[in-house]
């Protein structure tokens, strides 16, 4: 019995001595599991405005890309783009992006997680004073609970397009296409809306700049079906004619 008590006292002393090691590990596991969750986004409201006048831009096509930087094995170590969608702004320049949850249903830990927003309009180009390629709207949740917080209203600024050089054209057309590019396992919505809105202007740009391949990129991100392949009639389907028959091209034996 004395041996058992001695062993108990030794184990108790060992726990007290090394307890400071186990507590941070437990907290790290709890925090890590709290931030690793199935990616989702709340409903987001916003507006598209003229950066110079502040007036709304009606009918703009808003492209939203939801994702973040994968800083762990769950995020695969690179920027993940898991949801791509397009919506049309109303007459007041306002838009609404519905809530979403990733169909992959796998937990991930993502840094800088949020919406990346840009807009397309035939008469305007996306514009930010800092030269950023999108408007980033963070997605935040309550720590250790995971409940998503309601995001503030997003504002997407644009400026009248003055038909500048090749770089300006690419900025106007290529950015909305590139932000609509999702990962292979991402969820894509409303691709027909972006295709219908941009197709004519992209085709005109490609006609003037044959090496740009912007239409190919638009077809790729909007999942356009490949053109049908030309087929030749099978030999079995070709009518066999008698060489002596009038109109036959078969050589006479």
In the predicted structure, residue 18 carries a pLDDT above the cut 70: no
CB 148 within 8 A of CB 124: no
Least confidently predicted of 62-76, 102-116, 184-198, 225-239: 225-239
The per-residue pLDDT for 27 is 40
The per-residue pLDDT for 75 is 43
DSSP E strands, 76-198: 79-88, 94-97, 100-101, 110-120, 124-126, 135-138, 154-160, 187-188
Q: Kindly state the average pLDDT of the residues 88-105.
A: 97
- pLDDT, tens only, 106-159: 998 899 999 999 999 999 999 877 777 899 999 999 988 889 999 999 999 999
CA distance 56 to 205: 27
* Dihedral class, residue 194 (left if φ above 0, else alpha if ψ from -120 to 50, else beta): alpha
Phi, psi of 133 (to 5 degrees): -85, -5
- pLDDT, tens only, 37-64: 999 999 999 999 999 999 999 999 999 9
The per-residue pLDDT for 1 is 46
Q: Which residue has the higher pLDDT, 33 or 51?
A: 51
Q: Which residue has the higher pLDDT, 171 or 103?
A: 103
| Confidence band, pLDDT 50/70/90 cuts, at residue 65 | very high
CA distance 207 to 50: 29
The per-residue pLDDT for 60 is 97
Which position has the token pair 């941009």?
Answer: 198
Percent of the chain surpassing pLDDT 70: 73
Average pLDDT, the chain: 81
Pick the CATH number of 38-221 from 1.20.1730.10, 1.10.357.10, 3.20.20.450, 2.60.40.10: 2.60.40.10
The per-residue pLDDT for 144 is 81
The per-residue pLDDT for 22 is 44
Domain boundaries, the chain: 38-221
Percent of the chain surpassing pLDDT 90: 57
Least confidently predicted of 144-153, 181-190, 244-253: 244-253
Whose CA is closest to 80, among 54, 52, 51, 116? Answer: 116
Q: Which residues pair with 118 in a beta bridge?
A: 63
CA distance 119 to 125: 8
């Amino acid at each position: 019995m004395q041996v058992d008590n001695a062993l108990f006292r030794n184990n108790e002393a060992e726990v007290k001595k090394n307890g400071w090691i186990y507590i941070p590990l437990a907290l790290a596991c709890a925090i890590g599991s709290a931030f690793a969750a199935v990616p989702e986004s709340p409903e987001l409201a916003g507006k598209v405005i003229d950066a110079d006048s502040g007036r709304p831009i009606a009918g703009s096509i808003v492209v939203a890309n939801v994702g973040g930087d994968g800083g762990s094995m769950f995020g695969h170590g690179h920027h993940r783009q898991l949801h791509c969608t397009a919506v049309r702004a109303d007459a007041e320049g306002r838009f609404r992006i519905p809530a979403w949850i990733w169909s992959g249903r796998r937990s991930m830990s993502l840094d800088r997680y949020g919406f990346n927003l840009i807009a397309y309009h035939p008469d305007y180009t996306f514009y930010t004073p800092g030269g950023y390629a999108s408007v980033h709207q963070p997605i935040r949740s309550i720590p250790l609970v995971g409940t998503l917080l309601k995001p503030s209203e997003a504002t997407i600024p644009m400026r009248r397009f003055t038909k500048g050089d090749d770089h300006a054209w690419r900025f106007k057309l290529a950015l909305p296409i590139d932000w609509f590019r999702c990962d292979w396992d991402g969820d894509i919505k409303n691709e027909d809306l972006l295709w219908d809105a941009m197709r004519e202007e992209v085709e005109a740009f490609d006609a003037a700049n044959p090496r740009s391949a912007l239409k190919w990129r638009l077809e790729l991100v909007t999942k356009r079906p490949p053109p049908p392949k030309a087929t030749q009639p099978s030999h079995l389907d070709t009518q066999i004619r008698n060489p002596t028959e009038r109109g036959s091209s078969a050589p006479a034996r």
